[in-house]
Amino acid sequence: MFELILSCVVSSIILLSFGNLFCSYFFKDKISISKNFSEFSLFGIVALSFFALTLNFFFPLNKLIGTLIIIISLILFFTYFSKTLFKKELLLYICYTSLLSFILLLLSNVNRPDAGLYHLPYISMINENKIILGASNIHFRFGHISIIQYLSAIYNNFIFTTSTITVPLASIVSIFFIYLLNNFFIFLKENKFIANFIFFIFIFSIFNFNRYSSLGNDAPGHIYFFILVIYFLKIYNIRECNNKIYSKILILSIFLATLKLFLVLIAIIPISLFLIHKRKKKLAYNKTNLIFLLIGTLWILKNVLVSGCLLYPVQKTCIKNLIYHNTEQTEEAVFVSEAWAKGWSDQKGVILNYEEYNEKFNWFKTWSNNHLKKIFEKILPFLIFLTLLTLFNSIKYVFSRKKNEHQKFNKKRFYQLFILNIFFLVVWFLKFPIYRYGLSFIGLFIILTLLILFSKIYIDNNRKYYTLIIILCFMGLFLKNGFRINDKINIFYNDYPWPKIYSLDINKNNIPNKFQLIKKNGLEVYYYSNQELCMYSKSPCSNYKLENLNSKKIGSYSIYFLN
- Asked whether residue 109 falls in the same domain as residue 62, the answer is yes
- Asked whether residue 490 falls in the same domain as residue 520, the answer is no
Flag whether 256 is in a domain.
no
Question: What confidence tens digit (pLDDT) does each residue in 425-456 have?
Answer: 999 999 999 999 999 999 999 999 998 888 77
Flag whether 157 is in a domain.
yes
Instruction: Report the pLDDT averaged over residues 45-69.
Output: 97
- Asked whether residue 96 falls in the same domain as residue 177, the answer is yes
What single letter denotes the amino acid at residue 348? K
Flag whether 234 is in a domain.
no
CA distance to 99, 430, 436, 478, per residue, from 106 (Å): 10, 38, 23, 12
Flag whether 392 is in a domain.
no
pLDDT band, residue 103 (cuts 50/70/90)? very high
Full domain range(s) for residue 30: 1-190+462-497
**pLDDT of 406 higher than 50:** no
Residue 482's CB is within 10 A of a number of other CB atoms, namely 13
- Asked whether residue 466 falls in the same domain as residue 556, the answer is no
**pLDDT of 532 higher than 60:** yes
- Asked whether residue 490 falls in the same domain as residue 557, the answer is no
pLDDT band, residue 23 (cuts 50/70/90)? very high
**pLDDT of 104 higher than 50:** yes
Question: What confidence tens digit (pLDDT) does each residue in 158-170 have?
Answer: 999 999 999 999 9
pLDDT band, residue 125 (cuts 50/70/90)? very high
Is residue 27 within 8 Å of residue 21, measured between CB atoms?
no
Flag whether 507 is in a domain.
no
Residue 389, pLDDT score = 87
Residue 402, pLDDT score = 56
Q: What is the DSSP string of 10-43?
A: HHHHHHHHHHHHHHHHHT---GGG---HHHHHHH
pLDDT band, residue 32 (cuts 50/70/90)? low
pLDDT band, residue 460 (cuts 50/70/90)? low
Calpha distance 184→345 (Å, rounded): 42
> How many domains does the structure of the chain reveal?
2
Question: What confidence tens digit (pLDDT) does each residue in 126-149 have?
Answer: 999 999 999 999 999 999 899 999
Residue 459, pLDDT score = 64
- Asked whether residue 127 falls in the same domain as residue 85, the answer is yes
Question: What confidence tens digit (pLDDT) does each residue in 536-546 have?
Answer: 999 999 999 99
- Asked whether residue 12 falls in the same domain as residue 96, the answer is yes
Instruction: Report the pLDDT averaged over residues 36-53.
Output: 96
Contacts from 550-559 at CB under 8 Å and sequence distance 24+?
550/520, 550/525, 551/520, 551/523, 551/525, 551/526, 552/523, 554/133, 556/130, 557/130, 557/131, 557/132, 557/133, 558/129, 558/132, 558/133, 559/132, 559/133, 559/134, 559/323, 559/324
Calpha distance 552→550 (Å, rounded): 7
Flag whether 505 is in a domain.
no
Flag whether 74 is in a domain.
yes
Flag whether 96 is in a domain.
yes
Is residue 382 within 8 Å of residue 205, measured between CB atoms?
no
Scanning 411-531, the segments in alpha helix (DSSP H) are 412-431, 435-453, 463-488
DSSP classification of residue 76: H
Instruction: Report the pLDDT averaged over residues 507-529.
Output: 89
Mean pLDDT of the chain: 91
**pLDDT of 408 higher than 70:** no
Question: What confidence tens digit (pLDDT) does each residue in 294-330 have?
Answer: 999 999 999 999 999 999 998 899 998 999 999 988 9
Is residue 443 within 8 Å of residue 382, measured between CB atoms?
yes
